[in-house]
A and B are shown apart, each in its own frame.
Chain A
Amino acid sequence: MLLLQIDTALIIEKVLLISVILMGSLGIAMYATWGERKVAAIMQDRIGPNRAGPMGLLQPLADGLKLFFKEEIIPDKSTRFIFILGPCLAMLTALLTSAVVPWAPDYVTSTGHVVAFQVADINVGILFVFGVVSLGVYGVMLGGWASNNKFSLLSSIRAASQAISYELAMGLSMIALIMMTGSLSLRDIVAQQHGFWDAGYFTWNIFKQPLGFIIFLTCSFAELNRAPFDLPECESELNMGYHQEYSSMKLGFYLFAEYINLFISSAIIITLFFGGYNFPFMDKIAEAANPLVFSIICMLVFITKVVGMILFFMFVRWTLPRFRYDQLMKLGWRTLIPLALGNMLVTGVLILWVFNK
């Protein structure tokens, strides 16, 4: 078959890239837990972690070590296999999405060999992200059910219905964006947002789809189970939520998967709406710098934007109170979906009549 001819250099390159991305996401997720505590501490006028290492920087390592050494408990009444499968699935789906994110522009070596800083450029990149996100709910649902605890079950059912409800609005807000870009490939979408200003208007999609961005952002809060939509792990009603019965590193996997999801969805939001690795005056730097250095600068810009987005998620979490469950559903079905539909309609009309594409 034509599509399965792969050369060795490509395999080595991709394996390297995948390992770097995996390590990178794990590292960033680790320090996101530290960042979350620091942000919470600053916003509540406390000091936060400050014992392990300077400014508490070794705290994530200490936490990880603690989780590894804790006693592993599998409840007698649980469904053993599915109980173990739950956190594995949560971790798997959290890491899968990073495959389609373009981290930096292609680097062309002097021999003409092209090194792409993207694991897979599939032409349905956005849909791939949606597919993986919709699978992500299995980890929570199976874990919550297999625990054989009523709080876990309630929480997993909440998580599933919340995820399904908000996926709709998220998908509808994406359709408007796709209508503007005309491509589902994340690589094309980033390439279209080149630079910052072109032909008298901003190139970044946030300026072309402001309402779509707000809907998408709200839905990502719900998909990530983060405050103000953290109903599945709402302590005051459900103790700890779906990971009530989990201990040791299995609990660690659930908590960690959440931070990886936070990182990856920030990366997706930046890719779709904030120009990915693009930045103002990038052409001037591309002329002056060595191509490899330029790729690295782009990647650093991208990571900086992603960190900014993560910080935004954290500020919101420590600012807004939690929604009630009926308010959450009402917001999803009665506000966001009609808004997204309207946005889609307006975008369609504008594309047809104003831009005449």
Chain B
Amino acid sequence: MNLYDTLFWFLSAVSVGCALGVILSRNPVNSVLFLVLTFVSISGHYILMNAQFLFIVNLIVYTGAIMVLFLFVIMLMNLNADVEPQKGQLVQLAGVVSGGVLFLVLLAAVKTASPVPIDKASIDIGLITNLGKVLFKDFVLPFEISSVLFLSAMIGAVVIGKKEESTPLPSGE
């Protein structure tokens, strides 16, 4: 087993282990920390594929921004095992069934998948120059449309988050 395989199996074990930790730990803060570790190990996989840009963007966007916001909300709500909201039996059952169905679909997809040999010529495809050329030449329209989508989501968040000036304050007397 060469260095590449060792790293691959190590990172895979860490990602799967941490992903299990996310759903198994009782404390929400621990779950978030496990999720952060999962993202970091997935970023490690990108490095193994020589996709440095994806590695760093995954790190910045998921661990640096989104998970910080998760942590933020959990800290503010002060969730812990004692006050964890308990769902009814029916909801739990529905969750198990839908999750199981999704798992079945994924399993079926993996079962029929055939391994694609790594194309040695395209090993630099993940580097930022190549990625930029592909995004802005071949896929420029979907790329721009998705950016408009993000912009509209951002504006929507601002509109929802904005205080309504006109509502009168409830009188405290």
A residues apposed to B, CB below 8 Å = 1-4, 79, 82, 122-124, 127-128, 130-131, 133-135, 137-138, 141-142, 145, 153, 156-157, 160-161, 164, 167, 184
Contact of B127 with A by CB under 8 A = yes
Digitize B68-109: 1 where CB-to-A-CB distance is under 8 Å, 0 elsewhere.
110110011000000000000000000000000000000000
Would B4 and A1 count as touching, CB distance under 8 A?
Answer: yes
Digitize B51-69: 1 where CB-to-A-CB distance is under 8 Å, 0 elsewhere.
0110111011001110011
Would B2 and A1 count as touching, CB distance under 8 A?
Answer: yes
Measured CA separation A86–B51 after assembly (Å)? 30
Query: Which residue of B is nearest A128, CB measured?
Result: B56
Would A131 and B64 count as touching, CB distance under 8 A?
Answer: yes
Digitize B35-53: 1 where CB-to-A-CB distance is under 8 Å, 0 elsewhere.
0100000000000101011
Query: Which residues 9-55 of B have a CB within 8 angstroms of A?
Result: 29, 33, 36, 48, 50, 52-53, 55
Q: Which chain B residues border A184 with CB–CB below 8 Å?
A: 128
Contact of B151 with A by CB under 8 A = no
**Interface residue from B52, B71, B123 paired with A122 (Cβ < 8 Å):** B52
Minimum C-beta distance from A125 to chain B (A): 9
Measured CA separation A82–B33 after assembly (Å)? 10
Would B68 and A123 count as touching, CB distance under 8 A?
Answer: no
Query: Which residue of A is nearest B3, CB measured?
Result: A4
Interface SS, A side: helix
Would A141 and B56 count as touching, CB distance under 8 A?
Answer: no
Would B50 and A3 count as touching, CB distance under 8 A?
Answer: yes
Query: Which residue of A is nearest B120, CB measured?
Result: A2
Given A122-B52, A164-B68, A135-B128 contact (CB < 8 Å) = no
Q: Which chain A residues border B71 with CB–CB below 8 Å?
A: 138, 141-142, 145, 160
Would B127 and A2 count as touching, CB distance under 8 A?
Answer: no
Would B75 and A145 count as touching, CB distance under 8 A?
Answer: yes
Query: Which residue of B is nearest A137, CB measured?
Result: B68
Interface SS, B side: helix
Minimum C-beta distance from A239 to chain B (A): 19
**Interface residue from A79, A124, A133, A138 paired with B53 (Cβ < 8 Å):** A124
Interface bin, chain B: 20 to 34
Would B75 and A123 count as touching, CB distance under 8 A?
Answer: no
**Interface residue from B4, B53, B65, B68 paired with A4 (Cβ < 8 Å):** B4
Measured CA separation A134–B63 after assembly (Å)? 8
Q: Which chain B residues border A167 with CB–CB below 8 Å?
A: 64
Q: Which chain B residues border A164 with CB–CB below 8 Å?
A: 65, 68-69
Would B127 and A123 count as touching, CB distance under 8 A?
Answer: yes
**Interface residue from B68, B123, B128 paired with A160 (Cβ < 8 Å):** B68
Would B56 and A138 count as touching, CB distance under 8 A?
Answer: no
Minimum C-beta distance from B116 to chain A (A): 16
Q: Which chain A residues border B68 with CB–CB below 8 Å?
A: 134, 137-138, 141, 160, 164
Would B123 and A124 count as touching, CB distance under 8 A?
Answer: no
Query: Which residue of B is nearest A130, CB measured?
Result: B60
Would A157 and B72 count as touching, CB distance under 8 A?
Answer: yes
Given A4-B4, A131-B60, A137-B68, A145-B29 contact (CB < 8 Å) = yes
Would B60 and A123 count as touching, CB distance under 8 A?
Answer: no
Query: Which residue of B is nearest A126, CB measured?
Result: B56
Q: Which chain A residues border B72 with CB–CB below 8 Å?
A: 141, 157, 160-161
**Interface residue from B48, B64, B128 paired with A134 (Cβ < 8 Å):** B64
Can you list 6 residue pairs at the A/B interface with Cβ under 8 Å?
A: A4-B7, A122-B52, A123-B52, A123-B129, A133-B64, A145-B71
